[in-house]
């Protein structure tokens, strides 16, 4: 092409995720490249929020291992009263704070830059809905599930969403008192919804 072609954009390229439902439907948020950061796919998120649509409105939600913020921001968009996102990677946490600035709603969402295990051991809040999606191939499931089971983080009847690699040995770490409500597989990902007593 000649000189009439468009000049290349100077806008920095990055990863984006799209909020798929609720008041922010269609809104795109950026997140950085980071080892282990793997946003929940759109179709998995759609299924998850179909499962919890009656629970998310007015709920206090915990997005442990928040990463891109896909689950926490989706819950906020769909009417959660409070969303806590926990992310230990400084660059990723900074990206979440930037997204929060763009959404201009710090009254509902709080971002904690801290390891999840440390947070769960000290946080006084109790949650109705917990999203647990740590980096695949780690032992973070076992530690986090043990803290959720023995601590005071869950309200009675709380729902816990767990996403993991297909064939990962996660079920052995699930507290026996939790009831499996739903489960599904999408490609190399398994995801389940449990309910605490």
The full set of domain ranges for the chain reads 15-195
The pTM for the full model equals 0.88
Q: What share of the chain is helix, strand, coil (3-state, %, to 5)?
A: 30, 30, 40
Of residues 98, 91, 41, 93, the one with CA closest to residue 71: 41
Q: Is the pLDDT of residue 160 over 90?
A: yes
- What average pLDDT score do residues 77-89 get? 96
- pLDDT for residue 155: 96
- pLDDT for residue 9: 36
Question: For residue 5, what pLDDT band results from cuts at 50, 70 and 90?
Answer: very low
- What average pLDDT score do residues 118-124 get? 94
Of residues 141 and 46, more confidence is placed in 46
**Mean of pLDDT over the chain:** 88
The kind and range of the H/E element at 59 are: none
Token duo for residue 173: 């770490």
Of residues 58, 62, 63, 55, the one with CA closest to residue 126: 62
Q: Is the pLDDT of residue 6 over 60?
A: no
Q: pLDDT per residue over 12-30, tens digit each?
A: 445 888 999 999 999 998 8
- What average pLDDT score do residues 35-62 get? 90
- What average pLDDT score do residues 128-150 get? 89
Task: Locate all alpha helices (DSSP H) within the chain, ordered by sequence.
Answer: 42-51, 53-56, 70-77, 90-103, 116-122, 140-150
In terms of CATH, what superfamily is 15-195?
A: Vaccinia Virus protein VP39 (3.40.50.150)
Question: For residue 3, what pLDDT band results from cuts at 50, 70 and 90?
Answer: very low
- pLDDT for residue 4: 37
Instruction: Give the burial class of 98: count Cβ atoms within 10 A of its Cβ; 0-12 exposed, 13-18 middle, 19 or more buried.
Output: middle
């Amino acid at each position: 092409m000649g000189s009439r072609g468009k000049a290349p954009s100077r806008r920095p390229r990055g990863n984006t995720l799209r909020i798929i439902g609720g008041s922010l439907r269609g809104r795109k948020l950026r997140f950085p490249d980071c080892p282990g950061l793997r946003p929940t796919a759109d179709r998995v998120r759609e299924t998850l929020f179909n499962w919890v649509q009656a629970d998310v409105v007015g709920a206090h939600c915990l997005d442990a291992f928040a990463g891109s913020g896909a689950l926490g921001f989706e819950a906020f968009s769909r009417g959660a009263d409070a969303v806590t996102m926990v992310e230990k990677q400084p660059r990723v946490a900074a990206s979440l704070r930037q997204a929060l600035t763009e959404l201009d709603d710090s009254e509902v969402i709080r971002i904690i830059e801290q390891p999840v295990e440390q947070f769960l051991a000290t946080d006084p809040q109790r949650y109705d809905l917990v999203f647990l999606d740590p980096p695949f191939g780690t032992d973070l499931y076992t530690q986090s599930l043990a803290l959720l089971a023995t601590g005071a983080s869950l309200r009675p009847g709380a729902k816990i969403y767990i996403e993991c690699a297909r064939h990962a040995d996660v079920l052995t770490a699930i507290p026996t008192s939790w009831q499996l409500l739903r489960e599904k597989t999408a490609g190399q990902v398994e995801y389940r919804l449990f309910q605490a007593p």
